[in-house]
Amino acid sequence: MHDESPRPLPSSAPFAESFPGLRRRGFLAATAVTGAASLGALALTGCGGGARDGGSGGDGKPKRGGRLRAAFAGGGAGETLDPHLSNLFADVARAKALFDKLADYGADLSAQPRLAEKWEANKALDRWQVTLRKATFHDGRPVTAQDVLYSYRRIADPKKAFRAKASLEPIDLDASRPTGRRSVEFVLKRPTAEFPNVLAAFGAYIVPENATDFDKKPIGSGPFRFVSFAPGRSAVFRRYEEYWDGAPHLDELEFIVANEESARVNALLGGQVEYAHELNPTTARAHEGRGQIGIVRLRNSAMQAFCMKTDRAPFDDKRVREAFFLIADREELVRGALSGAGEIGNDLFGKGYEYYADSLPQREQDLDRARVLLKKAGAENLKVTLDTSAVAAGFTEAASIFRDQAKKAGVTLDVKMGSKDSYWNDILDGGTLCCYRSGAMPIESHVSQRLLTDSTTNATKWKHKDFDALYQQVQSTRDKKERAAVYERMQRRLYTEGGFLVWGFADWILGTARTVKGVERKAPANTLDWARFDKVWLA
Amino acid sequence: MTALRSFVARRLLLGVVQTVAVVLLVFTLTEALPGDAAVALAGDDPDPARIAAIREAMHLDRPAWERLGDWAMGLLHGDLGTSLASGRPVSQYIADGFGPTLLLAALTVAVLVPVGFGLGVLAARHEGRLVDRLISSVTLAVYAVPEFALGVLLVTVFALQLGWLPPTAVGFGTDLLGHPAALMLPVLVLLSRPVCSLARLMRAGMIDALASPYVSQARRYGVTGARIRYAHALPNALAPATQQLARTIDWLLSGVIVVEALYVIPGLGTVLLNAVAERDVPVVQGLAVVFGVLTVALNLGADLVAHRLAPRAGVAA
């Protein structure tokens, strides 16, 4: 982008010179950030979890040794190893190498015990006894109940803005106390049957008591110990021999920051890294089955939706919402906006996750019925603004595809491009219809964060006392089967008249060198086995 | 010489005013952007309570003029402020990014000067003939290729197909000098357009100078061809090219975002890109100051060199 003209400019115009300079940088920032834009988008919403050996079955016997270099999009010179500040995929990948949570998410987003060996609730489900397993920090000290309480209190500090704070809200930390060296009694503010989800919450890592500085020499209990860290560039970790879940196969693990997707792919093809996180569907198609690199598609990793604000016209009429459900040609959206790298959705969050209501019939496009519904609602020749932004892959494409689909039902969608950096905040209260996505999290978390009257990020403005009551019922029901039945009722309601038009679930695509074995293929991004390097080896 | 001195003084003063203006402009524009560092950091979890807490932690709840004032006071003491996103000093950000940027710029200029000037002179010597037409058309063609396209092409051919060079500088961190092979492609891309513009400018300058009355006069005096070309015509042709060179160096030092992103070189361009995305105003301001000072210094330098080469042209203040 060397845009100097070959003519010399009069030297009397240095201001004019620096100004175009600024403009040029501004412009590049705008385009190149698409990579970094994905950054914001990539900021995970949920957390990580547990099934082992899922995809490593055919990879043979693990081999010990070697250094694996993994390329991620990163956060620049402002990066930190403070696990409670984890915001980007790269942050989480580094955090889970150094630290552990009490629980983490399995491939179906159910909470799996990690540092917690077991948990037991009282009858009222508002007091939980958590027993820690025998684990040690990298400096040899055992992980104790004090460390757990310190970590949670640090996260909940009202002066700080740690992301996991909202997830830990059900815990009354003043009343919670250690009941032994390796056991904690958590006192909750209300019955919480899904309390293990809280233990697995995004960013709820256990750090040693009184730890505050994580960039010099962070000490965790994770599978790798700290060697070096250069923010925005690289982090080198070494195997922790005493890891409670078995020492990693790799000697060393290096995280390398490369924000451009093309750079990550080139580095992988050129043998400069062995693992490249987050590839485009087109890249995956070009290299899949060619044998040069391995392509891993993590299914059901990112929900793709249009979000209808149910508290305002025209979407305060559930017939209009249903009409929009029927306008969507989901196959076409997945093909066009996700380049085919994904599956169609059924207006419900959490396909493939625990408690997902997969008995509901798959919704298909039905323009005639949509027109009838709109007519009944008195919304013929409807005009709606659809907010979108280049904040996540496929957003703008999805918006224009849906605009064309709506036109066939007589609805005019006016697509409006918003700012990437403030998009999520802008659409929370503003507008009526917008593009939306979400990383993997348990269905319970999706409901509590987005679909209750007091939810902090209720973008569909779904506020119904009877629905809130169903959620309370779930949280006070001990029996799993009974809970599943209540979840089903909630989902049936959302399926019929909710504000989320969930049209698809995007794959999360990774590239690996041929020597890399043991990479889990079933775990959606955000779960325990995603970006988990202690079970990976180099053949 | 006093005229020159007062010219330099005026230019330096003007430079300070310009840098202040740029900083104010950057601050105003960044403030005018929708959202702030707190919103950018909250990302897809825009919990209003959390955003408010982040805003408070970053002191963004204070009025804009107060924040600018504090930052400016710090600047007077040589303190560029601290990053909103990480709380680390801005000077650290700039120091970290400056090494790779400076290295790339130095290597590029080291090749650019002989090649650019050489090609220009060569083309001018053979004006209208095959060599000139070849140089002119190739430089025009290369100039028309956007950086990112050339970058991708070079990586595909030399790194991925032929395997001669590493495709990126990933993992080398600041130790780029230890891996010279990784610098070949980025320097080539950086060279591509400046070489062309410099060569074309040089060619035009030389042709003009060779057609000027003083050269004809020198010829009539029987001065040898080489001496006319290199002792009389060249300095005059160099003057405009020097200013172009200064602008190129300025561009190289102000962060070459595309090349840095493509080859994963953590220079100032990357720092700037991340800071803008994070709405990290103090870092953006700090960079604006550094870029402003560089621009002023380089242009002043170029003017002085041009004045030395061709005093006849005078200095346009």
Tens digit of each residue's pLDDT (9 = 90 or more) over A387-442: 999 888 899 999 999 999 999 999 999 999 998 888 999 999 999 999 999 999 99
Block residue for tokens 């909630």: A490
User: What is the phi-psi region of residue A345: left when phi exceeds 0, alpha when psi lies from -120 to 50, beta otherwise?
Assistant: beta
- Three-class DSSP category at A302: strand
Q: Where in chain A is the domain with CATH 3.40.190.10?
A: 13-97+222-292+514-538
DSSP string, A472-528: HHHHT---HHHHHHHHHHHHHHHHHH-SEEEEEEEEEEEEEETTEE---SSPPTTST
CA distance B215 to chain A (A): 23
- DSSP assignment letter at A88: S
Measured in whole angstroms, how far is the alpha carbon of residue B114 from the centre of its chain? 18
CB spacing of B50 vs A87 below 8 angstroms: no
Tell me how crowded residue A55 is: count the other CB atoms within 10 A of its CB: 18
Q: Give the model's confidence band at A362: pLDDT under 50 very low, under 70 low, under 90 confident, else very high.
A: very high
- Answer yes or no: is pLDDT of A12 > 70: no
Instruction: Round to the nearest angstrom and report the end-to-end CA distance of chain B.
Output: 15
Measured in whole angstroms, how far is the alpha carbon of residue A397 from the centre of its chain? 21
Tell me how crowded residue A33 is: count the other CB atoms within 10 A of its CB: 23
Q: What is the pLDDT of residue A329?
A: 97
DSSP string, A338-375: STT-EEE--S-S-TTSTT--TTSPPP---HHHHHHHHH
**Residues of chain B positioned with their CB less than 8 A from the CB of A12:** 316-317
Of A21, A87, A233, nearest to B254 by CB-CB distance is A21
Q: Give the model's confidence band at B134: pLDDT under 50 very low, under 70 low, under 90 confident, else very high.
A: very high
Pick the CATH number of A300-506 from 3.30.565.10, 3.40.50.2300, 3.10.105.10, 3.30.300.180: 3.10.105.10
CB spacing of B152 vs A78 below 8 angstroms: no
CB spacing of A14 vs B296 below 8 angstroms: yes
- Answer yes or no: is pLDDT of A88 > 90: no
CB spacing of B291 vs A11 below 8 angstroms: no
3-state helix, strand, coil in chain A (%, to 5): 30, 20, 45
Q: Are A530 and A327 in contact (CB under 8 A)?
A: no
Tell me how crowded residue A385 is: count the other CB atoms within 10 A of its CB: 13
More confident residue, B211 or B4: B211
Mean pLDDT of A9-26: 30
Using a CB–CB cutoff of 8 Å, tell me whether B311 touches chain A: no
Query: What percent of chain A has pLDDT above 90?
Result: 79
CB spacing of A424 vs B46 below 8 angstroms: yes
DSSP run (H or E) holding A236: strand A234-239
Residue type for position A489: R
CB spacing of A419 vs B33 below 8 angstroms: yes
CB spacing of B201 vs A166 below 8 angstroms: no
Using a CB–CB cutoff of 8 Å, tell me whether B45 touches chain A: yes
Give the C-alpha distances (Å, rounded to integers) separating A384 from A466, A503, A504, B271, B276.
29, 19, 22, 39, 32
CB spacing of A11 vs B303 below 8 angstroms: yes
CB spacing of B262 vs A263 below 8 angstroms: yes
CA distance A100 to chain B (A): 23
Average pLDDT over all residues of chain A: 88
Task: Give the integer Cα–Cα distance in Å for A352 and A345.
Answer: 11
| Residues B178-230: tens digit of each pLDDT | 888 888 999 999 999 999 999 999 999 888 888 888 888 888 888 887 888 88
Of B50, B159, B274, nearest to A76 by CB-CB distance is B274
Q: Are A173 and A456 in contact (CB under 8 A)?
A: no
Tell me how crowded residue B160 is: count the other CB atoms within 10 A of its CB: 15
**Residues of chain A positioned with their CB less than 8 A from the CB of B39:** 421-422, 425
CA distance A271 to chain B (A): 9
**Residue A124 burial (10 A CB sphere; 0-12, 13-18, 19+):** exposed
Residues 103-122 of B with CB under 8 A from A: none
Q: Are A49 and A200 in contact (CB under 8 A)?
A: yes
Q: What is the pLDDT of residue A3?
A: 37
DSSP string, A252-286: EEEEEE--SHHHHHHHHHTTS-SEE----HHHHHH
CB spacing of A76 vs B201 below 8 angstroms: no
CB spacing of A1 vs B147 below 8 angstroms: yes
CA distance A230 to chain B (A): 8
Using a CB–CB cutoff of 8 Å, tell me whether B303 touches chain A: yes
Mean pLDDT of A452-465: 94
Measured in whole angstroms, how far is the alpha carbon of residue B305 from the centre of its chain? 18
Q: What is the pLDDT of residue A58?
A: 65
Task: Give the integer Cα–Cα distance in Å for A531 and B102.
Answer: 35
Using alpha carbons, select from A226, A53, A65, A215 the residue that is nearest to residue A137: A226
Q: What is the pLDDT of residue B69?
A: 87
Q: Are A326 and A348 in contact (CB under 8 A)?
A: no
Task: Give the integer Cα–Cα distance in Å for A190 and A157.
Answer: 20
Q: What is the pLDDT of residue B313?
A: 54
Name A49's bridge partners: A105
Q: Would you identify the CATH topology of the domain B14-316?
A: MetI-like fold (1.10.3720)
Q: What is the pLDDT of residue A299?
A: 92
More confident residue, B2 or A383: A383
Q: What is the pLDDT of residue A449?
A: 92
Q: What is the pLDDT of residue A197?
A: 96
Residues 1-20 of B with CB under 8 A from A: 14-15, 18
CB spacing of B160 vs A270 below 8 angstroms: yes
- Answer yes or no: is pLDDT of A42 > 50: no
Q: What is the pLDDT of residue A189?
A: 96
Task: Give the integer Cα–Cα distance in Å for B268 and B283.
Answer: 11
| Residues A183-208: tens digit of each pLDDT | 999 999 999 999 999 999 999 999 99
- Answer yes or no: is pLDDT of A13 > 50: no
Which residues, at least 6 apart from A28, have a Cβ–Cβ distance to it below 8 Å?
A: A1, B257, B258, B269, B273
CATH assignment of A103-206? Answer: 3.90.76.10
- Answer yes or no: is pLDDT of A24 > 60: no
Q: Are A6 and B197 in contact (CB under 8 A)?
A: yes
- DSSP assignment letter at A133: P
Residue of A nearest to B289 (CA): A18
Q: Where in chain A is the domain with CATH 3.90.76.10?
A: 103-206
CA distance B257 to chain A (A): 7
Tell me how crowded residue A38 is: count the other CB atoms within 10 A of its CB: 22
Of A26, A259, A421, nearest to B261 by CB-CB distance is A259
Interface test with B, best of A266, A282, A437, A441 (most B CBs within 10 A): A266
- Answer yes or no: is pLDDT of A52 > 50: no
HSE of A223 in the Cβ direction (CA atoms, 13 Å)? Answer: 21
Residue of B nearest to A7 (CA): B201
CA distance A388 to chain B (A): 14
Q: What is the pLDDT of residue B1?
A: 56
Mean pLDDT of A164-190: 95
- Looking at the predicted complex, does its ipTM rise above 0.85? no
Q: Give the model's confidence band at B128: pLDDT under 50 very low, under 70 low, under 90 confident, else very high.
A: confident
Q: Are A200 and A138 in contact (CB under 8 A)?
A: no
- DSSP assignment letter at A173: T
- Answer yes or no: is pLDDT of A241 > 50: yes
CA distance B77 to chain A (A): 24
CB spacing of A267 vs B241 below 8 angstroms: no
Lowest mean pLDDT segment, chosen from A10-14, A53-57, A304-308: A10-14
Q: Where in chain A is the domain with CATH 3.10.105.10?
A: 300-506
**Given the DSSP bridges, would you call strands A412-417 and A275-276 parallel, antiparallel or unpaired?**
unpaired
CB spacing of A4 vs B254 below 8 angstroms: no
- DSSP assignment letter at B230: I
User: What is the phi-psi region of residue A291: left when phi exceeds 0, alpha when psi lies from -120 to 50, beta otherwise?
Assistant: left
**Residues of chain B positioned with their CB less than 8 A from the CB of A163:** 45, 50
- DSSP assignment letter at A24: H
Task: Give the integer Cα–Cα distance in Å for B270 and A232.
Answer: 9
**What is the side-by-side strand order in the sheet with A127-132?**
A116-121, A127-132, A183-187, A177-180
Tell me how crowded residue A426 is: count the other CB atoms within 10 A of its CB: 19
**Residues of chain A positioned with their CB less than 8 A from the CB of B280:** 78
Q: Give the model's confidence band at A1: pLDDT under 50 very low, under 70 low, under 90 confident, else very high.
A: very low
Range A291-315 burial, b when 16+ CB lie within 10 A, else e? eebbbbbbbbbbbbbbbbbbeeebb
Interface test with A, best of B14, B25, B26, B44 (most A CBs within 10 A): B44
Average pLDDT over all residues of chain B: 85
Residues 161-200 of B with CB under 8 A from A: 163, 166-168, 170-171, 173-174, 190, 192-194, 196-197, 200
The dihedral sign for the CA sequence A503, A297, A67, B160:
negative
Using alpha carbons, select from A304, A300, A289 the residue that is nearest to residue A337: A304
Using a CB–CB cutoff of 8 Å, tell me whether B153 touches chain A: no
- Answer yes or no: is pLDDT of A238 > 70: yes
Q: What is the pLDDT of residue A452?
A: 96
| Residues A112-164: tens digit of each pLDDT | 999 999 999 999 999 999 999 999 999 999 999 999 999 999 999 988 888 89
Of A26, A29, A40, nearest to B44 by CB-CB distance is A40
What is the count of residue pairs from A and B with beta carbons less than 8 Å apart?
257
Q: Give the model's confidence band at A386: pLDDT under 50 very low, under 70 low, under 90 confident, else very high.
A: very high
CA distance A481 to chain B (A): 31
Mean pLDDT of B246-260: 87
User: pTM, whole model, 2 decimals?
Assistant: 0.85
- Three-class DSSP category at A202: coil
Q: What is the pLDDT of residue A427?
A: 93
Q: What is the pLDDT of residue A438?
A: 94
**Given the DSSP bridges, would you call strands A252-257 and A67-72 parallel, antiparallel or unpaired?**
parallel
CA distance A359 to chain B (A): 30
Using a CB–CB cutoff of 8 Å, tell me whether B154 touches chain A: no
CB spacing of A40 vs B276 below 8 angstroms: no
Block residue for tokens 């809280």: A198
Residue of B nearest to A164 (CA): B50
Q: What is the pLDDT of residue B24?
A: 87
| Residues B23-66: tens digit of each pLDDT | 888 888 878 877 788 888 887 888 888 888 888 888 888 888 88
CATH assignment of A13-97+222-292+514-538? Answer: 3.40.190.10
Name A131's bridge partners: A118, A183
CA distance A6 to chain B (A): 5
Task: Give the integer Cα–Cα distance in Å for A33 and A528.
Answer: 29
CB spacing of B85 vs A78 below 8 angstroms: yes
- Answer yes or no: is pLDDT of B144 > 60: yes
Residue of A nearest to B273 (CA): A29
Radius of gyration of chain A (CA): 24
Top mean-pLDDT range of A57-71, A488-502, B161-175, B240-254:
A488-502
Strand extents, DSSP E, A34-138: 67-72, 100-101, 103-105, 111-113, 116-121, 127-132
Of A32, A230, A232, nearest to B257 by CB-CB distance is A32
Task: Give the integer Cα–Cα distance in Å for A432 and A312.
Answer: 7
Of A69, A75, A263, nearest to B261 by CB-CB distance is A263
Q: What is the pLDDT of residue A252?
A: 97
